[in-house]
Amino acid sequence: MKVKSFRAPRLVVASLAQGRIILRGFWFLVCAWKWLGLGLLIVATAVVFLMMPYDPGLLAQLHIWRGDQDDVARQISRVFSICGDYPQYNVTLALAIWLYGVWSKSSAWRRIAMVCFLGSSLAGLFDDGFRMTVGRPRPDTGFPDHFYGITNALHGTFQSFPSGHAATAFGTAAALLVVDLPLGLITTLYALAVIWARMELYRHYPSDIIVGSIIGIYFGLMVGFGAKVRSPRPPK
């Protein structure tokens, strides 16, 4: 008995092909500008070691609300924090843009959706690679602030550094700034609200946010500009 093979919808296949081309352009730029990535890694390392002793004090200074204002600020920050999660925000936004592209029959919008998705996803994956190894406790846990290593990093309370919310939010924002400026500006403002919320809830130190943002901006820009590369070839 011959079983009919399942055929994916044509637009899904076309979008996957667009994603493959964007990834080729991304990898081409990463290889061509490898010194940029190395430089940012050095900057991020310097930020950690220079700011780490001052992180608790800086975090306390950022917490300026008192009394009823503190309750309101925490309620607002919880909304931004939950809505800023990768599945709720990044994936949903990319899917919404893609569906708009399907509805408007626009290949350009479907391509923007793939840029949005890949920018946040690649930044998040790279960020998680660090969080799962260094094991820095979150500020609200009460543990002494230092790196506990991979043994404790598998627990969520030891995944403060770097901030995954900052990486994915700015991965989306930076990528969209390149391919669609108005949408990129809106998502940048939202990313700023998300990182404020994470510090307001004492889930991250300032250095966690800075390094996570650097990761997000780097991967977002590489994906955004990678989408503009025509026929990328590996550098010699």
Structural domain containing residue 120? 11-226
Nearest CA among 120, 67, 64, 72 for reference residue 92: 120
Give the model confidence (pLDDT) of 85-108 as tens digits: 999 999 999 999 999 998 888 889
Position 160 in a domain:
yes
Give the model confidence (pLDDT) of 19-37 as tens digits: 999 999 999 999 999 899 8
**Alpha-carbon distance 226 to 108, whole Å?**
15
Query: Is the C-alpha dihedral spanning 81, 86, 87, 93 positive or negative?
Result: positive
Position 32 in a domain:
yes
Category of 121 on φ-ψ map: left (φ > 0), alpha (ψ -120 to 50) or beta: alpha
Position 66 in a domain:
yes
Q: What is the CATH number of the domain that holds 169?
A: 1.20.144
- Residue 224 is which amino acid? G
Give the count of domains, the chain: 1
**Contact of 79 with 184, CB cutoff 8 Å:** no
> Is 117 exposed, middle or buried (CB count within 10 Å of its CB: 0-12, 13-18, 19+)?
buried
Position 208 in a domain:
yes
4 pLDDT higher than 80: no
Tokens linked to 208: 């966690």
Give the model confidence (pLDDT) of 37-49 as tens digits: 899 889 888 988 8
Position 167 in a domain:
yes
6 pLDDT higher than 50: no
Position 105 in a domain:
yes
Indicate the average pLDDT of the chain.
87
Position 74 in a domain:
yes
Position 234 in a domain:
no
Give the model confidence (pLDDT) of 117-154 as tens digits: 999 999 999 998 888 888 888 888 888 888 888 877 67
Give the model confidence (pLDDT) of 175-185 as tens digits: 999 999 999 99
| CA atoms in the 13 A half-sphere facing the CB of 202 | 13
